[in-house]
Amino acid sequence: MLGVSGDGLYISSEQEGLGLDCEMASRTEMTPAEALKQLYAARNELRRHFPSLPFTLDGRMIGDVGEAIATTHWGLKQLPSNSKTHDVMTGTGISVQIKTTQHIQNGKGVGLGLDKRSFEHLIVIQIHEDATYNVLYDGPGSYIDKKRDGKKSASLTVKQLRELNEVVSANEKILDSNQLYGTL
């Protein structure tokens, strides 16, 4: 069983039949990357048992993973959870919205919110099952606003985000080139 104790995350040996890495059961704590890999492994095992159900890891949890990357890997400051439009702030006071996706196909849409609200700055992170990530977009919200103008949806595809990211100048980006890839 995957659980949380005062010592951290743990996996009990009851999971042996589910194909999870039970070597980790003897450890009292996992790294964030190990925990994310275990979530994907558990999801994949559920898919095997129930092939008609997707067991998608999305929504709030995946968004929280992106915010964890922003605060721990890039040193951005977490804003209060009741902040409406932005999640984190830079040391220079720029408000940043973090969006996180698991989509890997260029044609798949990345949700940027339920409405077409503008962000001061937006970073879109793509995470992978091996707990690695890459940045699809790092730039002012105005580029996103222009691209979404006239669209009914508040989403852009992975391909559109990559193309927009190429247009953003280096001095408009928050992240350095060595921060665009990493492991949780």
What total number of domains does the chain contain? 2
Q: Are residues 93 and 18 in the same domain?
A: no
Closest CA to 167 of 137, 126, 122: 137
Is residue 55 situated within a structural domain? no
Is 47 a residue whose pLDDT tops 60? Answer: yes
The pLDDT of residue 26 is 53
Same domain (yes/no): 129, 44 = no
Same domain, 86 and 150: yes
Q: What is the value of pTM for the model shown?
A: 0.75
* CB within 8 Å of 30: residues ≥ 6 apart: 8, 9, 10, 24, 38
> Do 45 and 65 reside in the same domain of the chain?
no
- From 49, 70, 87, give the residue that closes a domain: 49
9 lies in which domain range?
2-49
Q: DSSP alpha helices (H): ranges in the chain? A: 32-49, 60-73, 141-148, 158-167
Is residue 87 assigned to a domain? yes
Q: Residues 53-69: what's their mean pLDDT?
A: 81
